Chains A and B, each alone.
Chain A
Amino acid sequence: MSNWTEVVALQEIPNMGSRIVDTGKTEIAVFRTSDDQVFAIRNACPHKGGPLSDGIVHGNTVTCPLHNWKIDLASGEALGPDEGCSNVFPAKVENGQVFVDFLMA
C-alpha cells in the first residue's frame, strides 16, 4: 500500500538541487536532478551524518559536503570504494507536484 504525500511543486526545488523536509522527528532531503527526476533520501550521509541536501548534485548522485562521499540517490548507497547506505523513500512527480511515500523506507 502506498502513502503518497504531496510535498512541494517541482519548480520550488532548484534544478540539480534539493529541499529539506522537516517532519519534526527527522530530516529528509528531496532532490531534483538535471533531467527532472526526483529522489527522497534521509538527510544524513552514511559516513558521518553530513547534510546530503547541501551537496552538489550530478547525474543521479550527490556528493556529501563534509568528506566528498558520493551517494547514489536511487539506492542511498555510497559509490566507489566507500561503503554505507542511507534510507531512501519512493518519490515521484505528478502534474508538476512532488510526492514522497514516507512510510516506505
Chain B
Amino acid sequence: MKEKLVLIGNGMAGVRTLEELFKHDEGAGSDLYDITVIGAEPHPNYNRIMLSPVLASEKTIDDIILNTVEWYTENNIELITGDAVTEINRVNQVVNTEAGRQVAYDRLLIATGSTPFIIPVPGAEKEGVIGFRDIYDVDTMLEAAHTYKKAVVIGGGLLGLEAANGLMKQGMDVTVVHLLDSLMERQLDKTASQMLKLSLEQKGLNFMMEAQTAEITGDKRVSGVKFADGWEVEADLVVMAMGIRPNMSLAEAAGIYCERGIVVNDTMQTYDPKIYAVGECVQHRNECYGLVAPLFEQAKVAANHLAKLGSTRYQGSMTSTKLKVTGIDLFSAGDFNEAEGDEALVLQDPSQGVYKKLVIRDDKIKGAVLYGDTMDGTWYFQLMRDEASIADFRNTIMFGQHDLGDAGHGDASAVMALPDSAEICGCNGVSKGDIVNAIVKVGLFTLEEVQAHTKASSSCGSCTGLVESILASTVGDGYDATPNKKPVCACTDYSHDEVIDAIKTHELKSMPAVREFLEWKTPDGCAACRPALNYYLLARWPEEYSDDAQSRFINERAHGNIQKDGTYSVVPRMFGGLVKPNELRAIADVCDKYDVPEMKVTGGQRIDLFGVKKEDLPPMWKDLSAAGFVSGHAYGKAMRTVKTCAGKTWCRFGTQNSTGLGVKLEELTWGSWMPHKFKLAVSGCPRNCAEATIKDFGVVCVDSGYELVIGGNGGIKVRVTDQLTKVETEAEVLEYCGAFCQMYREEAHYLERTAPWVERVGLSSIRERLLDDEKQRKELYQRFKLSQKYAQIDPWKARAEGEAAHEFTPLKLQVETGSEALLEVS
C-alpha cells in the first residue's frame, strides 16, 4: 500500500519537487506515493517567470506550459485544478477544498508560493487594480490594453519594470511610480539605476520618483492615482508590483509555525514533520526567496527526503538577478554597495552605455553590478560563489574573462545582441536560436539540461560561458546557476575536491570502496565518474591500485586515438622530437606493412599514423617496439610531448642545449597519467621557437640559466604561461618540473587542464609551495618519481606480448543474422 502525498500548489517549486522525486525510482510516477496535486489556478504547471515575455507578446501562454495535462496522467498524478485548499486538518491528516473535496494525506507538501503585495490605500479594491502574478493578471492586462490607454505601475523593482515594459509594448502609455529615488534599489547602485532609468525613458516609459501613493480614485473602475503630496495622474489600469508576500495563511491557520514565511529546516520540513514546504512560501534560515534558482535547490532536497534517502540538506542560496527587458543588459549579484573597508573597481564608458562595478573585500568579489555589457556576469558570480582570490588578476578583471570565446566567437560581448542564426557551439553546430528555442519550449533551467537537449557546450566546452549567458538572459532570474558545489556527476552529490580528499584521508583504495564510502547513487557509476575515480585512485595509490581498464575511455583502453570511422591512430614517442634514420625507416616499413592510409607530422613534433584497424594495433606495436619505440600517449589524459627547438648545438642564437634538456624532461615524465593532457616545451633562447609559453610546463633558456613557465594552453582558450621561477641548472629544471607535475596530478580535478587549475588555485599559492618550501618541493618530486616507477611500463610492448588480447580480437562467427541487422550505418 503506497502512502498518500498531497501537493498544495500546482506551481514551479511543487511540481519540480515531484519531478525530482520521480528521478529516485525507475519508470513513470513514484513507487512510494499515490500523489494528488491541488492547484487554485485552472492551468497545469507553467513557467511563471516567463509571464513578462507573454505580456510583451514575445511568447504565448502555450510556450510557457512546463507540464501538460498528459504529464500528470502519465505519472499517475491526480490533478485537481481551479479549486483552492481552504483548510489543512492536521489531526485527521486531511485537506479540505473550496469545492468541498476532502483529500487525505500521509505526507503533505505545501508550495503555495506568494501573493503580490497590494498597498492598503483607499480604492485599492477598484476594478482595474491588479497585481502581476499569474496568467489571470496577464490576461487582465492584455485585455485592458485593447480597451484603455493609460496604465500606472506602482513599484520600480524588477517585476514592476517588466510589467511596465510589457504594457508599453501593448501600446499603453505607462507611468512607473516608485517610492524611492532610484529604480531597482535592491539590485542596483545609484549609477546603474540612473542609466537604467535613462534607457527606459528613451524607450518611452514615464517615471514618477519618490512618489507615495495615497489613493486610487474613480467610481467602479479606477480613473487615477493620487499621491501624498497632492499630485494626481490619470489611469485606466493600475498594476501593483510592490513586491510579494509568502502565501502562508493556510499553514498559519493550521497552527504551523510561521514568521515572514512558513519556517522550514534544512530538510524542508515544517514544524510538523509530516508537512514539507518549498518555494516562495517558505522561510529558511531567516531568508525568503523570490527567485527560481533557490526554489529548485529546495525541491531537490525535499524530493530526496520524500524518497526516504535523507542524504542532502538545503543550506541556503546565493542569487543573482537579470532584468528581462529586451534590449537592456543588466546583471546584479551580492553586496553591490561597498561597505566600510571594501573597495570598488569601476569601469564606466558612458557613450557605449557600459557600466561595471565589482565590490571587493580581502581580494574576493562580494558583489557585482553590470550594465550594458553583462557577458562576464556568470564568471564574476562564479568567482564570488567560489570565494576565489582575485589577487593574481585584479588588474585585468574589469575587462572580463577575455579568453572566454576564443575559439571562433570573436569578441561577442553582448550575447543577446547576436542574431538567432549565430553559431554558439562550433563543435556541434548549435545556433543561438536553437538554444533559446530549447530553453523556452522544453523548459530548461540549468546548463546541464541545455547540454543534454541541444548538445551545445557538451563537447569542447569553450562556449559554456556563452551558453550560460543565453540561459541567464532567456530565463532571467529563473536561471539555476551552477550550485556552490558542483558534484562530480549525477551519481553523487560530492564534488571533485571532496572525492580527492576522501580517497586520501580515509585511505580508499578501490572504486567500490569509494562508491560505498561516499554513498554513490548508482552501483557502477557512469561514463563521467568512473574515469575520474580511476585516475584519482591511480594518482594517490600508485603502488597499490591496479588500473581498471573498463573505467577508461576507449582511447586509453586501446592505447590509440579512436577516429570517426572507428579506426585508430598511432603516434610513436620520439623523445624531444629527435629521430634517427633507422627509426624513420622502421616507421615507414610499418606503414607499408599495415597499409596505413595517411601519415602526418603533428604539432608536438611526432609522426601520426592514421587509419589503423583495431586488430592490427598489437602486431604494429610489436614492430615499433622492436625498433625501440614506446607509446607516445597521444591518446591519453597523460604527459604527451616535449617540443624542442634546435638549441645551441646548431642554432647561432641558442643559449643552452634545449634538445638535450627536452630529452631528459621527456625521459622523466613519459608515461605519467595526468588529470588532462599535459605538454612541455624547451626553447633554446627567448625567441622561443618551441612555443614554450603556451605549454603546461615550459622552459625558456637564457644565457644565465632557465626560465620556468607554467599553465599555458594553446587549445580552446589560448593562455600564455605564468612565470614560475628561474633556475641555473638542468637538475633544478627536472626537480621543479617533477614537483609541478605531481602537484597538478594530486590537486587538479579530472579533466581540468593546468591553465584553469592555475587560475583556480592561484599562481601565488603554487609559487609559495614550490619555491618557498624546499621540503615540500622535494617530497612532491619524490612522489612523482615513485609513481613513474609504475607508469613507465610501455603499454604497447605489453599488448604486443599479449596483454588484454580480448580488446583487439573480434570473435569470428559464420552466422546468418536477422535482416534488419544488415542495414548499413549511414
Give residues in A with beta carbon < 8 Å to B.
Answer: 5, 7-8, 12-17, 19-28, 30, 33-34, 42, 44, 48-51, 54-59, 63, 65-68, 70, 80-81, 87, 89, 102-105
- B467: shortest Cβ distance to chain A, in Å? 15
- When A68-B527, A81-B452 are in contact, do A42 and B821 touch as well, CB less than 8 Å? yes
CB of B230 closer than 8 Å to a CB of A: no
B453 and A81 contacting across the interface, CB-CB below 8 Å: yes
CB of B810 closer than 8 Å to a CB of A: yes
Q: 1/0 per residue B533-569: CB within 8 Å of A?
A: 0000000000000000111011101100010101000
- When A51-B566, A87-B821 are in contact, do A23 and B549 touch as well, CB less than 8 Å? no
Q: From B491, which residue of chain A is reached at the shortest CB distance? A: A58
Q: From B550, which residue of chain A is reached at the shortest CB distance? A: A16
Query: Which residues does chain A contribute within 8 Å of B549, judged by CB atoms?
Result: 14, 17
Query: Which residues does chain B contribute within 8 Å of A19, judged by CB atoms?
Result: 806, 810-811
For the A-B complex with A28-B817, A57-B524, A68-B527 known, give 5 more contacts whose Cβ atoms are closer than 8 Å.
Answer: A7-B811, A16-B551, A17-B806, A24-B814, A89-B818
Query: Which residues does chain B contribute within 8 Å of A102, judged by CB atoms?
Result: 815-818, 821
Query: Which residues does chain A contribute within 8 Å of B562, judged by CB atoms?
Result: 51, 54, 65-66
Query: Which residues does chain B contribute within 8 Å of A33, judged by CB atoms?
Result: 524
Q: Which of B523, B822, B825, B826 contacts A25 (CB 8 A)?
A: B822
B817 and A25 contacting across the interface, CB-CB below 8 Å: yes
A105 and B554 contacting across the interface, CB-CB below 8 Å: no
Query: Which residues does chain B contribute within 8 Å of A25, judged by CB atoms?
Result: 817, 822
B790-826 interface (Cβ within 8 A of A): 806, 810-822, 825-826
CB of B437 closer than 8 Å to a CB of A: no
Q: Which of A13, A14, A26 contacts B821 (CB 8 A)?
A: A26
Q: From A29, which residue of chain B is reached at the shortest CB distance? A: B810
A58 and B814 contacting across the interface, CB-CB below 8 Å: no
- When A65-B553, A87-B820 are in contact, do A58 and B815 touch as well, CB less than 8 Å? no
- A23: shortest Cβ distance to chain B, in Å? 5
A103 and B525 contacting across the interface, CB-CB below 8 Å: no
CB of B602 closer than 8 Å to a CB of A: no
A21 and B524 contacting across the interface, CB-CB below 8 Å: no
Query: Which residues does chain B contribute within 8 Å of A54, judged by CB atoms?
Result: 554, 557-558, 562, 566
B818 and A63 contacting across the interface, CB-CB below 8 Å: no
Q: Report the interface size for chain B: residues with CB under 8 A from the other chain.
A: 40
A105 vs B524: C-alpha distance when bound (angstroms)? 28
A65 vs B560: C-alpha distance when bound (angstroms)? 13
CB of B745 closer than 8 Å to a CB of A: no
- A102: shortest Cβ distance to chain B, in Å? 5
CB of B526 closer than 8 Å to a CB of A: yes
A26 vs B555: C-alpha distance when bound (angstroms)? 23
Query: Which residues does chain A contribute within 8 Å of B816, judged by CB atoms?
Result: 23, 102-103
- B72: shortest Cβ distance to chain A, in Å? 21
13 contacts between A and B (CB under 8 A): A14-B550, A20-B811, A21-B813, A22-B813, A33-B524, A49-B825, A49-B826, A66-B562, A67-B455, A67-B459, A68-B527, A87-B818, A105-B819
B527 and A23 contacting across the interface, CB-CB below 8 Å: no
- A83: shortest Cβ distance to chain B, in Å? 11
- B426: shortest Cβ distance to chain A, in Å? 15
Q: From B565, which residue of chain A is reached at the shortest CB distance? A: A49
CB of B522 closer than 8 Å to a CB of A: yes
CB of B357 closer than 8 Å to a CB of A: no
A89 vs B813: C-alpha distance when bound (angstroms)? 15
Query: Which residues does chain A contribute within 8 Å of B458, judged by CB atoms?
Result: 68
A14 and B806 contacting across the interface, CB-CB below 8 Å: yes
B37-89 interface (Cβ within 8 A of A): none
Q: From A82, which residue of chain B is reached at the shortest CB distance? A: B452
- B407: shortest Cβ distance to chain A, in Å? 18
Query: Which residues does chain B contribute within 8 Å of A15, judged by CB atoms?
Result: 550
A17 vs B550: C-alpha distance when bound (angstroms)? 6
A85 vs B452: C-alpha distance when bound (angstroms)? 18
Query: Which residues does chain A contribute within 8 Å of B822, judged by CB atoms?
Result: 25-26
Query: Which residues does chain A contribute within 8 Å of B531, judged by CB atoms?
Result: 56
B825 and A59 contacting across the interface, CB-CB below 8 Å: no
A13 and B554 contacting across the interface, CB-CB below 8 Å: no
Q: 1/0 per residue B624-667: CB within 8 Å of A?
A: 00000000000000000000000000000000000000000000
- A17: shortest Cβ distance to chain B, in Å? 5
B442-500 interface (Cβ within 8 A of A): 452-453, 455, 458-459
- B492: shortest Cβ distance to chain A, in Å? 13
CB of B530 closer than 8 Å to a CB of A: yes
- A59: shortest Cβ distance to chain B, in Å? 6
B527 and A27 contacting across the interface, CB-CB below 8 Å: no
A3 vs B817: C-alpha distance when bound (angstroms)? 10
B261-286 interface (Cβ within 8 A of A): none
Q: Which of B551, B810, B813, B821 gathers most chain A CB within 10 Å?
A: B821
Query: Which residues does chain A contribute within 8 Å of B526, judged by CB atoms?
Result: 56, 58, 63
- When A56-B550, A63-B526 are in contact, do A26 and B810 touch as well, CB less than 8 Å? no
- When A56-B550, A56-B551 are in contact, do A21 and B810 touch as well, CB less than 8 Å? yes
A42 vs B822: C-alpha distance when bound (angstroms)? 9
Query: Which residues does chain B contribute within 8 Å of A8, judged by CB atoms?
Result: 811
A24 vs B814: C-alpha distance when bound (angstroms)? 7
A103 vs B237: C-alpha distance when bound (angstroms)? 72
- A24: shortest Cβ distance to chain B, in Å? 6
Q: From A87, which residue of chain B is reached at the shortest CB distance? A: B821
A103 vs B566: C-alpha distance when bound (angstroms)? 25
- A91: shortest Cβ distance to chain B, in Å? 13
A86 vs B17: C-alpha distance when bound (angstroms)? 34
B350-375 interface (Cβ within 8 A of A): none
Query: Which residues does chain A contribute within 8 Å of B453, judged by CB atoms?
Result: 81
A48 vs B558: C-alpha distance when bound (angstroms)? 20
**Which 10 A-B pairs rank lowest in CB-CB distance, beginning with the nearest?**
A105-B818, A49-B825, A63-B527, A54-B554, A58-B524, A56-B527, A20-B810, A22-B810, A16-B550, A65-B554
Query: Which residues does chain A contribute within 8 Å of B815, judged by CB atoms?
Result: 5, 23, 102
A12 vs B566: C-alpha distance when bound (angstroms)? 23
B825 and A55 contacting across the interface, CB-CB below 8 Å: no
- A92: shortest Cβ distance to chain B, in Å? 16
